[in-house]
Each structure stands twice: as structure tokens, then as C-alpha cells.
Amino acid sequence: MELTNENVLGKIIEQFGIDNIWDAVNPDGIMTFQTNRETIIPLIQYLYDDKELQVRFLTTMAGIHYPEQKDKELCMMYQLHSLRHNFRLRIKVFFPINDPVLPTLTNIYATANWMEREAYDFYGIVFSGHPNLIRILNVEDMEYHPMLKQYPLEDQTREDKIDTFFGR
Amino acid sequence: MATEIKTVKSDGLEEFEANRDLKLHNPEDQNLTTLNLGPTHPATHGIFQNILQMDGEKIVSAVSTIGYIHRAYEKITENRPFYQITPLTDRMNYCSSPINNMGYHMTVEKLLGITVPKRAQYIRVIMMELARISDHLICNSILGVDTGAFTGFLYVFQEREKIYDIYEEVCGARLTTNMGRIGGMERDLSPKAIHMIEEFLKDFPKVWAEFETMFNRNRIFIDRTEGVGAITAERALNYGFTGPNLRAAGVDYDVRVMNPYSSYEDFEFDIPVGTNGDTYDRFMVRNEEVWQSLRIIEQALKNLPEGSYHADAPHYYLPPKQEVYRNMEALIYHFKIVMGEIDAPVGEVYHSVEGGNGELGFYLISDGGRTPYRLHFRRPCFIYYQAYPEMVVGTSLSDAIVILSSMNVIAGELDA
């Protein structure tokens, strides 16, 4: 079967229902859709196990922060790749910043370990069930998650490095 | 919050206790030695710390600590205009900067919808393959140093110098190249540059053949590398391996072939694969890839199309400097680009290139502003280095060093 965005999406919706898979778009040739926290792990497991799709490579994971979206401030992006069919897809899960808990993916992909630690380190996303969820790139006694949009790039009170064009 | 951030105690012992993996493997009755390998150990070629627990010569468990040269690139990119991000990408995998530069440029071009002329694409291919040669050359020759052969390293470093001379002729810089621009190259290949590349293509194969003669069937080298740090294809895929490390395990995934970019589909080349995924296979795969890169450069240089070396995209591509002094539009565009006043369209793109050590991906979200809303780097080192503890368990300390150097982990890319 030739995998196209449409028939893969149809297959996924057939399996998980239209209530759990929504907002399918195609921004750059890679199918992108949203799902919820309950479905994400069964979905990725299904993609992994399915004989036809064989989506068995986790390319990357990235956290994104949208401070204006009420109750959908944080987003976790999972990008998967079926090396068998050269088919990529991107799954997004939005959730409130007050409850930044996601299930861990480490039981399916060993590589999710550090990716989840990175998301925890920079966005404060907590992955329940993760074997060793500690900071990875920043110092361990840091008290905030620096990639959240409310934190400026540099200390705003510094006066020795004022840049009037780009702002600090 | 389910997990609190663990605080580091000043007492070294308690800090050690906080590390779960080590604690698990540290029963009272065994007399294990804890060894701190790194962060500034001369044999680690970069700033990596590994806490090893050893039972005599044998490694029982290992824990990697990274982040020693973390520079918050992803945060910086959210505060810089697009063209100012290129120099940051240099400093990720600094052994093959042009690949990073051009990968980033292609990502932005994808967002902007710019098509780059064939000539520029071919020049990019030539520079990227030169970068791949210099990357593999460093990795393999340093692997030689770690197994006790210094000669090969010094010998091929002269060739790396020639590659850097070519960079210098093409873009003016040697290590952190900042080569090309969004929309193409900043200048055409000069006749001198073409001559230098031709000379390189003539001289380098002899040197590389000698290097291979020195290592490929060398008894000492094979004893030190064969079967050391082997990883199966299944494990490698599960760990997100890409590049030569994955191909050494027998999976023929190469971004250049699977998702061709910059006209790679025009060239004839092979993808070498290994069978065992051990250190020797990784070494051999890189060796062969150098030959394939030479093939690609030869073809690209022979068929170098005529035409412009940059796309016609005045909003994003800096006009020539002499035009800026004479031409009103050029002056306006120059001002707007340099001041970062060009808004990018709203969009979301992922673009990946075959970097020196794997799939180097750029995930870019633009909200229509002057800076990326989010730019995530898929850094191959960061992703596969987490397999290191699993790969060294059961080997000896000297093997651990060899495995680290055969994985081609670049600290700048690891920590971004």
C-alpha cells in the first residue's frame, strides 16, 4: 500500500475515533495532528506495532510554549518516521501549564529518555513513569524552566549591554 | 508536580546517592571502584563526564553527565533575526560547520518558499561533502590515536588543512564558517577555489588509501576495535541512531537518499553499511563514506551548471555591497535585512540533512514575526550518546575510550 497522509490518517481515526484525533494539517508535507494525553502512548504503540505502517523511529520531540492559549499553554511535539515506507508524521499534544504531566514514552523508545529530560529541563513538562527525570543540560539547582516565554534571554537589569535594535 | 528537582549536596557522597542508576548497581558486598572519567580528560575529546563503576578492569555501570558547554542556542534563536542564527549553527558540530549552515539555510528557504538555482545547490553539495570528509577524517584518525597510532592522525590532518583552505577561499573563514546565506551562496566559486578543489581531488585519494592501508588490516587495530561496543540494529533504531553509527549496524538509512535535498538525487553514490555495529564497522563505514563523498564532489564539479549562485529573493538575500551605494532598492533591502526588519511568513517546517554524524534536523515554527517562534535542533549526538552507558557496560576502561571516540560525539552539538 502506498502510504499517503489521507489513508494513514483514516486508519488512525478508524482505530482511535474522531474524538481523539483532530486538527489534521499538512504544513510542510509532514502530516500533523493533535491528540490528547490519554491517547498519545496507545497511539504511538499502535503505530509501532502495526504491520502495515511500521512507524518505528522516533525522530525528535520538542516542547513548545504558547502563553496566550488558555489551558493549552504547553505543547509536546512528537515526530515519528516509518523508515520502511519513508513516511513521517507529527503528533502534538496540548495541555495546561498548571498540570504539565504527560505519560512517558520511554517504554516504547529508549531514545525518548533524554528527549523527555530535555523537555522537563526547559519547559517543566513532567513525564510520569520516566526512570530518571532530572535536569539534563542546565545546572540541577536552577529554579525555573528557561525556555518558557516569560523568561527573557538575558537579565533585563543589565545596563552594559543595551541593544536598542533587537532588545534584550 | 510529581517530581521535584533534585538538589545537589555539597557532600560528594550524597550527590552520588542522588544518582539512581549508580545506586542500583552498588551493592554493599561487592567491592566496586567508582571512577570519574572526565569532564576534562584528555582522552574524551570534549567535555563529557562519565561516572563509571568498575569491578577491577570491567565496567559495571556508567552514568553520563552532559551540559558542560550548554549555551542555550534554542533560547537565543527565539530572540535573533533569521540571518543571525547561522553563526550559531556553526558551533554545533564544529567539525563540519558548512553542513549545519546549509541545513539551516535550507530550512528557512523551505519556510519562505524560495527555490535555489541549480548552481547554488551544486556548490552546496560540494561544500557539504568536503565537510563530511573533514568530519570523518578527524573522527577516524582520532580513533587511531586512541588505539595507539599517532602517525595517521598527523598525516591526514594536513589534508584537513587543505579542506579548510578551500573553505577560506569560498567564504573567508576556516572553522566556524558561516558559509552561504538564506537563498544561496554569498559568492560564486572562484576559479581559484575550483582549482583548489580539483587539486584536492587529485591528491587526497592517495593519502586516504595510505591511511586505509595503515589501519584496515592492522592486527593491533582490529584487536582493539572488532566486537567492541557493538550494538544491534534493533537497539540502534530504538535509541534513535542515525548516520554512520546506524549504518554500521546494518540499516541503510541515509537522509541524502531517502529524502534528497539540494539536488542529491542527481548524483550516483553508494551507501556503505556494516554488519555488527561495532567500533571496527563504524570506522570502516566512515572510511568508505569518504570515498563516496569524493565521488559526489567529482560529479558535482564536472556537471556544475551555469547560472546564478543565489536565488532571486531580495527580501531575504543581501544585495551586493557596491549596489547598496548606488541603488535605492538595494539600500532599502540591505537596511531592512541587517536590521532584522523582515517578517517571515507563518509556518511550520521540518528539514533534515545528513550531517557528519547523523540526521541533523531543524524544526522551525514561525508566528509571522522577525525571529523564529521556536527552533528546535535535532542533534544526532544528543540522541545517540544516551546509548553510551549501555554500550560500555561489560567492557574495560580502555575500550570505553575507543567506543566514545568511534561514536563521533561532538561536545558542541551534544550540548547546543
Q: What is the pLDDT of residues B18-64, one digit of tens each?
A: 444 555 455 666 778 888 887 887 777 788 888 888 888 899 888 88
pLDDT at B27: 62
8 Å CB contact of B348 and A32: yes
Tell me how close the Cα of A81 comes to any Cα of chain B, in angstroms.
11
Residue-level pLDDT at B5: 39
Same domain, B382 and B287: yes
Alpha carbon of B299 to those of B129, B184, B205, B267: distances in Å? 12, 20, 15, 7
pLDDT for residue B11 is more than 60: no
B324 phi, psi to nearest 5 deg: -60, -30
Task: Find the residue in A nearest to B366 (Cα).
Answer: A27
Residues of chain A contacting residue B76, judged by C-beta atoms under 8 Å apart: 153
In a domain, A155, yes or no: no
Task: Say whether A64 and B350 touch across the interface (CB within 8 A).
Answer: no
CATH number at residue A63: 3.30.460.80
B57 and B90 share one domain = no
**Residue A11, in any domain of the structure:** yes
3-state secondary structure of A95: strand
Question: Does one domain contain both B34 and B154?
Answer: no
Report pLDDT for A1.
61
Q: Is residue A100 part of a domain?
A: yes
B3 in any annotated domain:
no
Residue A32 in any domain: the answer is yes
| Cell numbers given for B252 | 541503510
Q: What are B105-116's pLDDT values in tens digits?
A: 999 999 999 999
Indicate whether A66 belongs to any domain: yes
| Count of structural domains, chain B | 2
Nearest CA in chain B to A167: B79
- Asked if residue B336 lies in contact with residue B318, where contact means CB atoms within 8 angstroms, the answer is no
- Examine the domain organization and report whether B318 and B207 are in the same domain: yes
pLDDT-based confidence at B246, cuts 50/70/90? Answer: very high
Q: Is residue A134 part of a domain?
A: no
Nearest to B401 by CA among B148, B174, B187, B69: B148
B33 and B112 both lie in a single domain: no
Query: In whole numbers, what is the pLDDT of chain B averaged over residues?
Result: 89
User: What range does the domain containing B42 cover?
Assistant: 12-65
Contact A56 B78 (CB under 8 A): no
B47 plus B123 within the same structural domain? no
ipTM for the complex? 0.92
Walk along chain A (168 residues) and give the pLDDT tens digit of each residue.
677 888 889 999 999 988 889 889 988 889 999 999 999 999 999 999 999 889 999 999 999 999 999 899 999 999 999 998 999 999 999 999 999 999 999 999 999 999 999 999 999 999 999 988 999 999 888 888 999 999 888 766 666 666 666 554
Choosing from B65, B85, B101, the residue where a domain stops is B65
Does B84 lie in the same domain as B35? no
In a domain, B207, yes or no: yes
Query: Dmax over Cα atoms in chain A, in whole Å?
Result: 62
> Based on the domain organization, do B261 and B390 belong to the same domain?
yes
List of chain B residues whose C-beta atoms are within 8 Å of the C-beta of residue A166: 79-81, 340
Burial class (CB in 10 A: 0-12, 13-18, 19+), B148: exposed
The parent domain of residue A18 ranges over 5-128
- B148 and B230 together in one domain: yes
Average pLDDT over residues B403-411: 91
Paired with B164 in beta bridges are none
Q: Which among A57, A48, A37 has a CA at the least distance from the CA of A126?
A: A37
Q: Judge whether B7 lies within some domain.
A: no
**Residues of B with Cβ-Cβ distance to A122 under 8 angstroms:** 74
Mark yes or no for CB contact A126/B20 under 8 Å: no
On whether both B388 and B325 belong to a single domain, the answer is yes
Q: Given an 8 Å threshold on Cβ–Cβ distance, is A166 in contact with B79? A: yes
Looking at the structure of chain A, the number of domains it has is 1
In a domain, A106, yes or no: yes
Q: Which three cell numbers stand for residue A39?
A: 491517547
For B315-359, write each residue's pLDDT tens digit. 899 898 899 999 999 999 999 988 888 889 999 999 999 999 999
A89 part of a folded domain: yes
The CATH number of the domain holding residue B388 is: 1.10.645.10
CB contact under 8 A, B378 and A101: no
Is B5 inside any structural domain? no
Residues B186 and B228 in one domain: yes
| Contact by Cβ (8 Å): A168, A161 | yes
Taking contacts as CB-CB distances below 8 angstroms, the residues of chain B near A114 are 382-383, 386
Q: Residue B134: phi, psi to the nearest 5? A: -70, -35
Cβ A32 vs Cβ A24: under 8 Å: yes
Q: Are residues B99 and B81 in the same domain?
A: yes
Do residues B354 and B255 touch, judged by C-beta distance below 8 A? yes
Mean pLDDT, residues B378-404: 92
Is B2 part of any domain? no
Determine the pLDDT at residue A164.
62
Q: Quick one: B336 exposed, middle or buried, by C-beta within 10 A (0-12, 13-18, 19+)?
A: middle
Per residue in B215-243, pLDDT tens?
999 999 999 999 999 999 999 999 999 99
Report the residue from B1, B80, B352 with minimal CB separation from A126. B1
